[in-house]
Amino acid sequence: MSKVELNETLRVISERHAVKKYETGLQMPEADLQAILKAASEAPSAWNLQHWKFLVIESEADKQKLLPIAFNQAQVAESCLTIAVLGDLEANRNAVIYNQAVEAGFLKPEIRDALVGQINGAYQNPQVARDSAIMNASLAAQNIMLAARSLGYDTCPMGGFNPDKLAQEFNIPGRYVPVMLISVGKAKEPARPSGRLPLSETVVRGSF
């Protein structure tokens, strides 16, 4: 067998599909949830600004509150929990992360200050702030789905929800933009088969 066929990461990636029907009444062990959230926070992000916040919706009452907000998609009520992945519109404030590197002696204070200046400058543009929030939080979302699958859970990413209602009902501060809901649980039925365009249609080598 080739390295590709034996590769665990590639297997997990190909096993992930958007599961809509879940076993109900299951609780996720806290260690599994923590492992999934840690994997999410290990995603790469521009300037390491970690443009994400994860709102875990898990109580029965909160699931019922979420159901109409997610246009009655049953997976938010039937899965173990749903993670609302939020993007940080003020991720420039997370540049405090560089203080760790300065304290550890890896980064000169003047370099940090120059970086922070560049970052704050870029984030004056609301389009940059919003694009960055959504782009980087989406990488964390993919980590959630892959980590969950590798631990034996299934997921469904959802853009089908009312972001304003979500923010209102779950007291999400204006700093955060809802990017995606991800239900996490154990599949009762497999995902509907979903094809992919052949690489010959999606890949351009060299230039167009």
Ligand X SMILES: Cc1cc2nc3c(=O)[nH]c(=O)nc-3n(C[C@H](O)[C@H](O)[C@H](O)COP(=O)(O)O)c2cc1C
Given candidates 194, 200, 202, 207, which one binds ligand X under the rule CB under 6 A? Answer: 194
Assess contact for 149 and 155: CB atoms under 8 A: yes
Query: Is residue 18 a contact residue for ligand X (CB under 6 A)?
Result: yes
Q: How far is the CB of 86 from ligand X (least distance, A)?
A: 14
Binding mask 47-76 for ligand X (x = CB under 6 A): --------------------------x---
Token couple for 89: 């519109």
Hunting for tokens 């939080």 — which residue is that? 137
Binding mask 73-102 for ligand X (x = CB under 6 A): x-----------------------------
HEC secondary structure over 17-36: CECCCECCCCCCCHHHHHHH
Assess contact for 47 and 95: CB atoms under 8 A: yes
Q: How far is the CB of 157 from ligand X (least distance, A)?
A: 4
CA-closest candidate to residue 84, choices 158, 198, 180: 180
Given candidates 87, 157, 178, 185, which one binds ligand X under the rule CB under 6 A? Answer: 157
Token couple for 100: 């760790």
Token couple for 63: 């699931």
Comparing CB distances to ligand X, the nearer of 77 and 191 is: 191
Residues that bind ligand X (CB under 6 A): 17-18, 20, 73, 156-160, 180, 191, 194
